[in-house]
């Protein structure tokens, strides 16, 4: 395997600490969380106390002010362990950056320290029953009335939606202007008219709470508008490259873990008196997968280096998201096959990884949308 040079010694020390946290605070409870459909809030506060939430936020807002490689470490370790139901990534690396970049002083001071502590859980509401990757098709609206905006509509497939204490809502403030009429609002869970629907039952990510959200004439104070009216679509586009890199980072980490689990299994399992890894088909399948995963690892590490340097463009981020999630599906499916019947049993991590992998090609913009973005550069 090619030696990685992306991380410093400090990053690796952080990795060791997060690994211990997952082993001690997550592993013993994860099965129960999958059964109940959400993780306990207590683990959020423990993560916050140890500095694992919002690490890239400035110290004045409760973070550590570190670079995004620390977040990448968290994504990699979650992928390696299969604890993908934790909603830390969206909270720390999607919601918090929007608040920091576009929130006013009140928004940043009120929400970010509480998010870093794990006292408040963040979500972002984009998708609707009739609008997914096409954000211009949303129907949720916000109309200015005096010193507030009145928000009405519904959202679905919202990660952390059932747990959330705050949610960034994408709404149309001028439906006639299309993309130029979209704005972002921070809505508190306690605001009148905001209700949460039932937790949605999913094929994978079973420990991650996902819910429908409803907004019935919710009065949102002017100060909870992020940035300027009508510029929400621009803000979303500016942050999507990092969001898609998060998906790619997780995808490669899952691929690497799936290979490790499967190599170990095929060394132990016998068929016709021979270890399964002794069959040429097994070795060749694993050799092919290992080669493709190594190529993906090098590409994603290079993309992260570009991101840190402010040079990662939207098309390259789309390539990373598209290629790695397609590979994730291929790898986990092949590894399930090599596990035989046990690969279909939920107690095996490869089964969970296989079920979790499918959504990676859908959220963050479907892979069909990724191809469209890439195609524009032709």
Q: Could you give the residue numbers annotated as active site? A: 243
48 and 118 in contact (C-beta within 8 Å)?
Answer: yes
Of 322, 287, 289, the closest CA to residue 303 belongs to 322
Of 120, 103, 111, the closest CA to residue 61 belongs to 111
71 and 56 in contact (C-beta within 8 Å)?
Answer: yes
Environment class of 336 (CB within 10 Å of its CB; exposed 0-12, middle 13-18, buried 19+): buried
Distance CA 59, CA 12 (A): 21
Instruction: Compute the CA torsion angle 365, 371, 372, 377 (nearest 10 deg).
Output: 120
Question: Using CA of residue 244, residue 249, residue 250, residue 255, what is the dihedral sign?
Answer: positive
Q: Residue 131 corresponds to which tokens in the numbers above?
A: 């609008």
3-state secondary structure of 241: helix
């Amino acid at each position: 395997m090619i030696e990685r040079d992306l991380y410093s010694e400090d990053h690796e020390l952080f990795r060791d600490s997060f690994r211990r946290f997952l082993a001690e605070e997550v592993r013993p409870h994860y099965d129960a969380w999958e059964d109940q459909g959400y993780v306990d809030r207590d683990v959020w506060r423990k993560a916050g106390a140890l500095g694992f939430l919002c690490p890239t936020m400035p110290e004045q807002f409760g973070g550590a002010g570190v670079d995004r490689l620390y977040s990448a470490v968290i994504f990699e370790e979650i992928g390696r362990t299969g604890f993908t139901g934790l909603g830390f990534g969206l909270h720390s690396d999607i919601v918090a950056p929007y608040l920091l970049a576009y929130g006013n002083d009140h928004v940043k001071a009120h929400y970010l320290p509480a998010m870093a502590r794990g006292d408040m859980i963040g979500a972002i509401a984009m998708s609707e029953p009739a609008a997914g990757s096409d954000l211009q098709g949303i129907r949720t609206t916000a109309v200015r009335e005096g010193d507030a905006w009145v928000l009405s509509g519904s959202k679905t497939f919202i990660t952390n939606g059932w747990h959330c204490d705050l949610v960034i809502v994408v709404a149309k403030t001028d439906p006639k202007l299309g993309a130029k009429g979209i704005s972002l609002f921070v809505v508190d869970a306690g605001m009148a008219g905001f209700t949460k629907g039932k937790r949605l039952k999913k094929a994978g990510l079973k420990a991650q709470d996902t819910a429908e959200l409803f907004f019935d004439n919710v009065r949102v104070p002017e100060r909870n508008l992020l940035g300027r009216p009508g510029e929400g679509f621009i803000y979303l586009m500016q942050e999507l490259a990092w969001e898609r890199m998060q998906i790619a980072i997780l995808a490669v980490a899952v691929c690497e873990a799936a290979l490790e689990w499967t190599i170990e299994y095929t060394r132990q399992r016998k068929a016709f008196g021979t270890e399964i890894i002794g069959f040429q088909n097994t070795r060749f399948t694993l050799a092919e997968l290992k080669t493709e995963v190594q190529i993906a690892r090098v590409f994603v590490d290079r993309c992260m280096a570009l991101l840190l340097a402010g040079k990662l463009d939207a098309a390259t981020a789309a390539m990373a998201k598209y290629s790695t999630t397609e590979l994730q599906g291929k790898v986990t499916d092949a590894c399930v096959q090599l596990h035989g019947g046990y690969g279909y049993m939920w107690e095996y991590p490869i089964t969970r990884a296989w079920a979790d992998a499918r959504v990676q090609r859908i959220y963050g913009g479907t892979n069909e949308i990724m191809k469209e973005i890439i195609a524009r550069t032709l």
